Structure 1
């Protein structure tokens, strides 16, 4: 019984790490996209003034 719980715990920790990695990469991608948009808007503002 204890070994089974330890195995389940190990599997769940592994899944958690995997999901954290996915979330981190998606978040990073979203931040990069927003940074590009901000940069484009700043360039547009400079051209208009």
Structure 2
């Protein structure tokens, strides 16, 4: 968890960087590793 938290989001060697996609992957991985990534199911009547 600490390695991911301290990871630097930086462009790849070829200069490509997509802050939206890479940021979402980073967010989802933090949520998954912290145990806070949960599926919220719709309520049934």
Q: Same fold (TM over 0.5)?
A: no
Query: TM-score, normalized by length of structure 1?
Result: 0.36
Larger radius of gyration: 1
Higher relative contact order (CA 8 A, sep 6+): 2
